[in-house]
Every structure is written in structure tokens, then in C-alpha cells.
């Protein structure tokens, strides 16, 4: 049977050119059973397949292949395969993945990726003071936190010490240990609002209060430097608990310095790591750790690792909060080129606050394109109602769910207040915690509703706006149908048609020959000569396809095995025991547990005696035969019209 994913995998590498095309520039090239096929679809499939095949086909050759392909799809449609639930579910799953690049502003995503890459090239040394904002706070409560942050900022700008104020006001638990100092950070190491403020605040300055998911931050930037790249290191570690006694501390330091002296005198670092390092995970790899970058490991280790200049250099013993380390530099690498790193950057962007910026940007563009208009009067009425009755109340939702007043319009279509009510009833965000005041909450729901409907509307327009998307969807759709109908009419049919396979083999037996003879039968090994006659007799009485199963069942148990049996069509060189017994070549090697070795079968000199002797090849040939007959019948069954004038305009370059 063919593999569906091979039929569809060509789609996966398609690169999107997100530009709309005038339908007038895309005429009908062909009609198959009355169904129109556009020129762009044929050009897309033709170019794609010719690029991915070493033997490029001429236009006429490919036109014939394309026509037959569409005839098979027409047959699948005639059989109703495009109406089954499994087909609709599978196609919907593909579409859900394919629409993603079309429902974001690709220009915005590209800008964010380039911004992230530029930030990865540089480190910023920062400290911060955190003023926490809890999820349940009202806007008034949030403003009080903001004003508190502003007042502390004014004190810093008047000359008060940042570290002292951090210890007094910061609600970051780590402030007791670090006084607000975070060290050097790079791209993706902090939440996006914090990162942006850090990279846009001048050295020596403190940012305005910056709101993140944790609260408001005052961020002090002390220095900037080029990113030093990554380091691959190995270490030998002696662990030192924070509550260790002075005696234990002295002993650990003595031990680590003794190990260091051994390294200086030429001892193998990896072997010492395996023997003496107390970091058992890395010890078994000779002390090797994963690649590190700045800010990703404790400062003491990082400073020592980055101080090593040449591969093979080893540090003196270094004390970190976790214990003593001796560090060896194994390798270094800088930042990869942008195009190589971009896929990873996009994945990381998809996991932080940047993930919806491309979508938000597209929504704003679509509002302009589709002449979005919010009914300010209706929105004001809703806000007034929200003040009087909480938008979380059933009364509020039931009332607006009956209101057919127009809330907003888009591309000449109207969405009503009732549509908003139904959205809020079913929205998961509406069922979560109630943050802010009634009007704030309502407006968040309206914004979410508008965004959702605009994206849904754009989703419905993709096939019309973007020919490449329509062609890609057609390819997926037709690929599923082609697989299902081919499986029914050719692949599965051929595999299960024993009589047909036998008949085909008999008619074409002359083409199935081989240069060297084959031995067809069984290689048997057993632990007692007395079993030979019994086994041979059983083999003669059993169906050929059941011999191995029954011999194993009758002569072996779970605890004791008397016989080993192997069925095959053996060529010289396949099995040394068969080479000796059947082809009279080489020496017979004997297993001590099964010293008795014999064969049962026959020598086939010129070729197979049954299609089962070459089942794979015969089945494949029979499938090709069935497909040829099938295609001939489809050409007779369904009308095909080709517009020769349009064919002359096909661009195959």
C-alpha cells in the first residue's frame, strides 16, 4: 500500500507568498466532469513537482499526468468520498494548520524576529525594583502601585542609591540576596516588556515604570556589551552544602586543590571527572555540561568559564553557591546567522507576549481594508447597562442576547449586540476571573469579540484572496481523495485479490526469472536426531503458511526449546547453513544447543514457481496493471475539456 504522507508531504515545504491575485488573471485551463480547474493550480503543481523530480517532464507529458490525476479525484467525488466525516475532519485539520501564516501580519513578525536577533547580539547589565500588581486588582488599585513606583523613581533621580531603595521597596524575593542586581541579560531571558525597556534605556539611566505580568519595574541599565557567544565546558565538582561546617569547607577545598594539581601534572580531565566529580550526571560524560550562554548559569561559574580563552584551558578551583568547580573549556561558538536562527526565534516568540503582535497588527490592517465601523451609540448604551448591571450577571447576558441592534459592521456585513451576547456566554475568557471594573471588563469582551470575528471573516476569504492558498488546499484535498480512491481501486484491491495475482503471475511468468538458483523451504535445527522424521512428517501435513507456527507450538514450550525453524527463499550467501546443505558450499557451523541441522524444500533454478515467491514485486506489477486499466476506463467515463488557448499561456519557468 502506498503511504498517504508521501502523497501529501510535498505540501509541507511550500513557502507562502502572501499576496492577493485578480481572479481575471487566472482563467480556466481544464474541465473534468464539468468541474473547472484554474491555470494557477496547474502551474503550481507543475512547477512544484518538476523542481522536486530529477527527470523533468515536458508540458504535454505533465498535462496528461495531471488530467489522469484529476480523473481519479472525480471518481472519488462520484463515490462520495468527499462527503465522509473522516475526510472532512482530516481536511479541516490540515486547513487549521495552513491558515496560521495568513492570520498574522508577516511584516510585523519579520520585524519582531529581526529585533529579537539584534538583541541576541548584545547583553545589557540591569538592576530592577519590582512593585507587584496582582491579577485581581482594579484599575484604581493598579494606578496606586504605578504612583508608588513613580515616587521611588523621583527619589532615584534626585540621587538616592538604587540598591538601597531596591532593598526597601522591591517585592522581588531575590532582592535580599542581590539588592535588585540581575547581571547581564540577553534576548528572551526576561519577559518581553522588561526586555524592551532594558534594551531601550540608555546606559546609566533608569526607566519609567514598566508594566509586565509581574507588576511595575524600575530598570537601571549599567552597561552594554557584545554577546560573548556560547561556551561548551566540562567540570569536576565537589558539592558544598550551604550549612557545611568550617571543617567540611576546609576539607572540600583541600580535595579540590589536590585534584587541580593532578590536572596540572598531566592527569586526564575526563577520567578524573568520572572518578571524583560529585555531579554524577555530568561525571559519566567526563564532566561535560550542555552549552551555556551568559545569564544561564550561576555567575561564579559563568565568569570563570568565559575567562578561559583557548580550547583545553582549565580554570583554577572556583567556589559557587553549590560547591567547588574546576572548569575546562571544550569549545566556543558565536551567534548563528539570522536566516539559520530565525525558525528557532519564531518558536520562542510564539511562547511570549510577542506572540499576538503579528495578529493584532493584521487585525488593524483588516479593519481598514474592510471598512470596519463600530456603532459608538450602541457601545455607549452597553457601557451604561454594564454600570447598572454587572456584565457577568445572567440578566445582563440574557438581555443583550436578544438585542438585534447593530454593534459594528465589516465589509458591508453587520454584527449585532446579540452576537456579542452569544460570544460572551460561550467565551472562556468571560468565564474566568473578573478583573477591573464593569466597563473595563465589558470593553475587553467587545475587543475580543471584534478581533475574533475579523479573523474568522478573513479566514473565510483566504481561498478567494490568495490563489497559492487555494491551490495548496486543493492539493491537500485532492491528495486525501486520491489516496482513498487509489487504495480502494488499486492498492488494497491488488493485495487482497489472490486469484487475480495468481492469474497475473501465470500470464507474465516469463518476466520473473533470476540468474542464480534459490532454495525454497525450511532450515531446521533441533537438539535430537530422533525428531527429524517427526518434523519432516509434520511439515508435509501442514499448510505452507502455518508450518513455522505449528512446529514452534508442538515442539517448544515457554521453558524448553527443542527446535528452531526458519522459512525462506534462500539465495547463495543469504545463510551459511543453507549454503552448505543446499548449495554444497562452505562449512556447516553448528549451534551447541541445536546440533542437528537439516533442510526441507526444493531448489528453484530458473525462477519462482508461485507469485508468493516474489509477492512484493508481483503485487507491485499487478497494481500498475490495475491502475492502467482503471485510468483507461476513467478516460472513457468522464468528459475532459482542455482550453488550448489558455494552455499556450502557461508559465513553466
Residues 6+ apart with CB under 8 A from 224: 122, 123, 124, 125, 203
The domain limits of the chain are 1-78+466-511+609-653, 122-226, 230-333, 370-463, 513-607
Report the 10 Å Cβ neighbour count for 624: 11
Instruction: Find out whether 430 and 396 touch, Cβ atoms under 8 Å.
Output: no
The DSSP H or E segment spanning 324 is strand 323-333
**pLDDT given for residue 390 in this prediction:** 86
C-alpha span between 617 and 505 (Å, rounded):
10
In the block, residue with C-alpha cell 456579542? 420
C-alpha span between 221 and 181 (Å, rounded):
10
Give the residue among 594, 599, 564 at the shortest CA–CA distance from 584: 599
To the question of domain 122-226 being in CATH 3.10.50.40, the answer is: yes
**122-226 and 230-333 share one CATH topology?**
yes
Mean pLDDT by 10 residues, the chain (653 residues): 42 40 74 93 86 69 93 97 96 94 93 96 97 87 95 97 96 92 92 96 97 96 95 96 92 96 96 96 95 88 95 96 96 94 93 91 97 97 92 90 97 97 80 63 94 97 92 93 95 92 94 93 96 95 93 93 96 95 94 95 93 93 96 96 93 75
**pLDDT given for residue 426 in this prediction:** 87
DSSP for 594-649, please give it: B-EEEEEEEEESSS-SSGGGGHHHHHHHHHHHHHHHHHHHHHHHS-EEE-HHHHHT
pLDDT for 105-122, tens place per residue? 999 999 999 999 999 999
pLDDT for 187-204, tens place per residue? 999 999 999 999 999 999
**pLDDT given for residue 209 in this prediction:** 97
C-alpha cell read off for 365: 490592517
**pLDDT given for residue 291 in this prediction:** 95
In the block, residue with C-alpha cell 456585513? 413
Percent of the chain with pLDDT over 90: 81
The second-level CATH assignment, the architecture, of 230-333 is Roll (3.10)
C-alpha span between 297 and 293 (Å, rounded):
8
**pLDDT given for residue 15 in this prediction:** 37
Report the 10 Å Cβ neighbour count for 97: 10
Task: Please list the residues that pair with 165 across neighbouring strands.
Answer: none
pTM metric for this prediction: 0.69
**pLDDT given for residue 651 in this prediction:** 82
**pLDDT given for residue 9 in this prediction:** 37
C-alpha span between 471 and 70 (Å, rounded):
14
C-alpha span between 33 and 637 (Å, rounded):
9
Instruction: Find out whether 316 and 297 touch, Cβ atoms under 8 Å.
Output: no
Name the region of 85 (left: φ>0; alpha: ψ -120 to 50; beta: rest): alpha
**pLDDT given for residue 13 in this prediction:** 36
Amino acid at each position: 500500500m502506498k503511504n498517504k504522507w508521501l502523497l501529501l508531504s510535498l505540501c509541507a515545504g511550500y513557502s507562502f507568498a502572501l499576496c492577493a491575485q485578480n481572479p481575471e488573471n487566472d482563467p480556466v485551463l481544464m474541465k473534468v466532469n464539468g468541474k473547472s480547474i484554474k491555470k494557477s493550480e496547474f502551474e503550481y503543481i507543475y512547477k512544484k513537482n518538476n523542481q522536486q523530480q530529477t527527470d523533468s517532464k515536458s508540458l504535454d507529458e505533465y498535462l496528461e499526468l495531471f488530467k489522469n490525476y484529476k480523473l481519479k479525484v472525480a471518481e472519488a467525488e462520484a463515490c462520495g468520498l468527499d462527503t465522509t466525516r473522516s475526510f472532512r475532519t482530516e481536511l479541516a485539520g490540515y486547513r487549521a494548520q495552513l491558515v496560521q501564516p495568513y492570520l498574522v501580519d508577516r511584516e510585523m513578525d519579520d520585524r519582531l524576529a529581526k529585533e529579537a536577533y539584534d538583541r541576541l547580539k548584545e547583553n545589557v547589565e540591569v538592576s530592577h525594583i519590582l512593585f507587584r500588581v496582582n491579577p485581581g486588582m482594579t484599575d484604581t488599585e493598579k494606578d496606586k502601585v504605578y504612583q508608588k513606583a513613580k515616587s521611588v523613581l523621583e527619589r532615584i533621580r534626585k540621587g538616592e542609591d538604587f540598591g538601597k531603595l531596591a532593598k526597601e521597596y522591591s517585592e522581588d524575593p531575590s532582592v535580599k540576596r542581590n539588592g535588585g542586581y540581575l547581571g547581564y541579560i540577553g534576548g528572551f531571558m526576561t519577559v518581553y516588556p522588561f526586555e524592551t525597556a532594558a534594551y531601550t534605556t540608555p546606559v546609566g539611566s533608569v526607566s519609567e515604570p514598566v508594566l509586565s505580568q509581574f507588576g511595575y519595574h524600575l530598570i537601571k541599565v549599567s552597561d552594554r556589551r557584545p554577546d560573548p557567544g556560547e561556551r561548551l565546558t566540562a567540570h569536576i565538582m565537589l558539592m558544598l552544602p550551604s550549612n557545611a561546617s568550617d571543617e567540611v569547607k576546609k576539607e572540600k577545598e583541600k580535595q579540590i586543590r589536590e585534584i587541580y594539581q593532578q590536572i596540572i601534572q598531566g592527569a586526564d580531565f575526563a577520567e578524573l571527572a568520572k572518578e571524583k566529580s560529585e555531579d554524577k550526571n555530568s561525571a559519566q560524560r567526563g564532566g561535560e555540561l550542555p552549552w551555556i550562554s551568559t545569564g544561564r548559569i550561576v555567575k561564579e561559574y559563568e565568569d570563570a568559564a568565559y575567562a578561559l580563552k583557548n580550547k583545553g584551558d582549565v580554570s583554577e578551583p572556583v567556589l559557587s553557591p553549590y560547591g567547588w568547580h574546576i572548569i575546562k573549556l571544550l569549545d566556543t561558538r558565536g551567534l548563528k546567522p539570522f536566516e539559520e536562527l530565525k525558525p528557532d526565534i519564531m518558536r520562542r516568540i510564539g511562547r511570549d507576549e510577542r506572540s499576538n503582535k503579528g495578529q493584532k497588527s493584521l487585525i488593524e490592517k483588516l479593519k481598514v481594508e474592510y471598512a470596519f465601523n463600530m456603532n459608538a451609540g450602541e457601545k455607549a448604551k452597553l457601557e451604561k447597562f454594564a454600570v447598572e448591571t454587572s456584565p457577568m450577571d445572567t440578566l445582563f447576558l440574557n438581555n443583550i442576547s436578544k438585542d438585534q441592534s447593530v454593534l459594528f459592521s465589516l465589509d458591508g456585513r453587520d454584527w449585532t449586540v446579540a452576537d456579542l451576547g452569544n460570544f460572551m456566554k460561550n467565551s472562556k475568557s468571560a468565564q474566568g476571573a473578573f478583573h477591573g471594573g464593569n466597563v473595563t471588563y465589558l470593553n475587553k469582551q467587545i475587543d475580543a469579540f471584534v478581533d475574533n470575528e475579523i479573523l474568522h471573516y478573513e479566514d473565510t476569504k483566504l481561498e478567494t484572496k490568495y490563489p497559492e492558498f487555494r491551490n495548496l488546499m486543493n492539493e491537500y484535498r485532492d491528495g486525501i481523495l486520491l489516496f482513498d480512491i487509489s487504495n480502494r481501486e488499486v492498492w488494497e484491491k491488488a493485495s487482497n485479490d489472490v486469484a487475480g495475482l495468481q492469474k497475473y503471475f501465470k500470464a507474465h511468468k516469463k518476466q520473473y526469472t533470476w540468474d542464480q538458483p534459490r532454495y525454497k523451504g525450511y532450515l531446521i535445527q533441533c537438539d535430537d536426531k530422533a525428531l527429524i522424521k517427526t518434523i519432516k512428517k509434520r511439515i508435509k501435513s501442514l499448510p505452507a503458511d502455518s508450518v513455522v507456527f505449528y512446529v514452534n507450538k508442538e515442539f517448544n514450550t515457554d521453558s524448553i526449546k527443542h527446535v528452531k525453524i526458519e522459512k525462506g527463499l534462500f539465495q547463495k550467501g543469504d545463510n551459511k547453513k543453507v549454503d552448505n546443505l543446499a548449495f554444497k558450499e562452505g562449512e556447516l557451523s553448528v549451534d551447541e544447543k541445536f546440533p542437528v541441522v537439516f533442510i526441507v524444500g526444493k531448489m528453484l533454478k530458473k525462477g519462482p514457481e508461485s507469485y508468493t515467491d516474489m509477492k512484493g514485486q508481483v503485487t507491485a506489477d499487478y497494481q500498475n496493471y490495475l491502475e492502467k486499466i482503471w485510468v483507461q476506463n476513467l478516460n472513457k467515463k468522464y468528459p475532459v475539456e482542455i482550453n488550448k488557448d489558455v494552455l499556450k499561456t502557461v508559465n513553466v519557468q
